[in-house]
Structure 1
Amino acid sequence: MRYLMLVVFILFTGCYHNIPTTSKVETFLNYHELEGERILSKPDDYLGSNDMEFKTQLEKKYTQLFGDKKIDFSMYDNPTLQGLWKVNNTMAFQCLEKKYLYNLEEIFEILKKRNIEKENYIVNKTTYNYVEDIFGFYILFGDFSKANSLKNEYQSILKSEVVPIVYDNASIMGEDCKLYKISDDGRSISLISVNIKEGPKIIFVSNPGCDFSKQAMKLTSATPELRNIFKKYATIIISLSTSMSYLNDMAVWNKNNPELEHFIYPHQDKLQGCLNKFSFLGGPKLYFIKDNKIVYQIRGFDPRESKYISDVYNGIKQIGIEI
């Protein structure tokens, strides 16, 4: 009889080992912090290798702790649920996979039913907000419709956030490489087709919120020879972000520097094509492409300006551009 009761218990509740607990949440968050410090501090064998290793290790740890089955988040009390939010928040950002965003959406709806979705929470002495988090992920994953709906629902919390009007051009949906062009007034973005497969190319990934990205672009722009080379061969792409508050500033930059125009990477499954081989998290990153292959890369900005310029010139030579 006891054996039968145990079988029934397992059938109705699943394996107890895979039920998330507060201790598992803490284990995962500690692992994320320590493993991230270990992996991301190593020299990269190639651009993005550390990021890929970190993502792989996080996914393994997540599966080890929480299993690979769908979790019924409604069964957990508020502290555990809030911990699971932190876990899936981390996974969504580090792995850029929608399954973790879907988990966040489920948790958010439960928080909403419990009337605590507007609350703040703290991680490492930094204050975060559930509404701001889910909004940021909608922006990050290019779901502008949901971002706009959320902003309308929580205007007091999201009043400073920007959701652009989006124009998707149906006639270029079949094109392999697409980016969003920022309008002159910074209020809208329009999908355009770009060509990075023919001839030598430079892909410059810039983060508007990063001082190093700003310094790299400023130095590139202020060096006449580099500016001319970038004008002819470079495509400048804004890295993935949880906010688009930079749009107006970028519109001003593009107006004043049309030869160094910044575009937005569309992080949406239906729009990803040839650009998905590049990393668009953080910045600055520079990819030098020849015969449609990455032959040289620069990650970050060396504060020694002469070193940065030397590295850029080296990349230019690697793809056969005459100086």
Structure 2
Amino acid sequence: MQLGMVGLGKMGGNMAARLRDKGHDVVGFDFNPEQRDVASLAELVERLEAPRTVWLMVPAGEPTAEAIEQLSTLLAAGDLIIEGGNSHYVDDRRRADSLKQAGISYIDAGVSGGVWGRENGYGIMVGGSVEDVECAKPIFDALVPDSGGGFVHAGGVGAGHFVKMVHNGIEYGMMQAFAEGYELMAASDIVDDVPGTFDSWREGTVVRSWLLDLLVRALEEDPGLDDLRGYAQDSGEGRWTVQAAVDHAVPAPVISAALFARFASRQEDSPAMKVIAALRNQFGGHAVTKTTDDPVRTPRS
């Protein structure tokens, strides 16, 4: 099958390579001249035979919106756009309705697998009509693991990005649980081998997972994680997951707490913790200043 791939970064570039390894004809466009096959979206569309399929792997938000706007003027009736970034599912529905007026089909595809996807395959979660998904099925089959698993047609347009959003929310919670377990064991005077403990959990336990494998790998490279800063960005999908939970009145305390923990990681000197420290000092005499490493108890009046 022939495919146009827009965005050849860490994900898109590896996806294009895997598709080529599987025998598909991929024409790639990227703003980096060293990575692209064509110099513009217009040239990409010219290189593709009708009916065309174009997969977008660009950052969510304005970059995706601009790319779809340009493609809407370049593609023709019968062509298909697959949006593989982390767009909000609400935007998918609006875009699909707009493109439908020109006869252009739209599929939203949540993609998981990170930088390991080229070798191991990707998890693909799609939303769209049965007919459109079937047309693109050879591409999906090439991207998923060789075992044949890892694919779901989750529902109509928007469903693919909705389940990917929930997937990432769950990922937030799992990562936070591992992180808290690490900190607790490292802070104790009981556990002598924290990395070895995590490694032992990879076999026979109920918490074994690919995330655990990656944590063990990170600890092998840097046992004390001394080379890393305790800062974690959020992609936006954690926020959308929490908002969707509110919209549907579904309790999601673990995912919510994991999201807020990421916010806390960005504060070198948390204003909220300053308030807590001030209050503890006021009622209990627990004074901590920036010049002291340990709490200093001041006498009560």
TM over 0.5, shorter chain: no
- Structure with higher RCO (Cα < 8 A, 6+ apart): 1
Q: Tell me the TM-score normalized by structure 1.
A: 0.30
Larger radius of gyration: 2
